Amino acid sequence: MTNSQRVLITAGASGIGWAIVEAFLAQGSLVHIFDVDEAAVSSVIRTRENLSGSVGDVTSEEDVSRLIEELRTKWGGLDVVISNAGIAGPTAPVEDYDPAAWKTVVDVNLNGSFNVVRQAVPLLKDSGGGSILVMSSLAGRFGYPNRIAYSTTKWGLVGFTKTLSLELGPHGITVNSIHPGAVQGERIEQVFAGRAEVSGRTIEEEKAAGMENQAIKSFTDPADIGALAVFLSGPHARTISGQQFPIDGDSKAAQ
């Protein structure tokens, strides 16, 4: 099966972003990644056909403007935009939360999404429609103690998505948010190792505790997030818009 599209994925050189890249490439799409990590971009774009990339910061209007002009010259339009770039910020109670860290998380997670989408929408309109997917989180569905900036921005992306859906729907552009929970990979392993060190429990005990609030007792495969992104951008999802898509084992809280 092929579903050739022109796809922009921010923070696509590793992690969940890379899983989404691979899913679209498997469908025969042309994919461009935009990532702040120059070494990661250089290493991955040589590994696949139909894959290109550029280095830049989503918080920089100038960097994003250069990206959009590059895509306009190369492709003449866009079919899919995946706003995936984001950072977690520190873990601290609100009274101890560094105001500078708050501003940084807001700048990347919210302002970065705004910068990319604002400048990419004309390319989607030039193509006669398309899809925008915004990467939120389990923390965009529940409160998340000691992660005030992260949770606030991930909730903010829900309002961002809902508003864009209403605004862009008349142009044939769908907009949805994806809300992963704990995802398989090095990052979650480090989280549980850190928890085990503090609690004195084993890593396996910490993993079991972390899944107590899930109906399905397993972590999400990044490839499943990629498959969901492909579906929501595809021909069978043209009337699905303004929706939140949890992919978290039916979690009941963020922790």
27 and 146 in a single domain? The answer is yes
Strands 173-180 and 51-55 turn out to be: unpaired
Give the domain extent around 88: 6-183+221-247
Residues 101-144: tens digit of each pLDDT: 999 999 999 999 999 999 999 999 999 999 999 999 999 999 98
149 and 207 in a single domain? The answer is no
Residues 28-42: tens digit of each pLDDT: 999 999 999 999 999
Any idea which residue has 């399905």 for tokens? Answer: 216
- Side by side, which strands form the sheet with 51-55? 51-55, 30-35, 6-10, 80-83, 130-135, 173-180, 244-247
Checking if the pLDDT of 179 tops 50, the result is yes
68 and 109 in a single domain? The answer is yes
Residue 253: inside a domain: no
> What confidence score (pLDDT) does residue 128 get?
95
- In sequence order, which ranges of the chain are alpha helices (DSSP H)? 15-26, 38-44, 61-74, 99-106, 112-126, 148-168, 186-199, 203-210, 222-232
Candidates 22, 4, 3, 25; CA nearest to 13 is 22
Q: Can you give the pTM of this predicted structure?
A: 0.92
Token couple for 39: 């070494």
**Rounded Cα distance, 158 and 64, in Å:** 22
81 and 194 in a single domain? The answer is no
Instruction: Give me the percent of the chain exceeding a pLDDT of 70.
Output: 96
42 and 82 in a single domain? The answer is yes
Q: Which residues are catalytic?
A: 150
Q: Residues 139-161: what's their mean pLDDT?
A: 94
CATH number at residue 95: 3.40.50.720
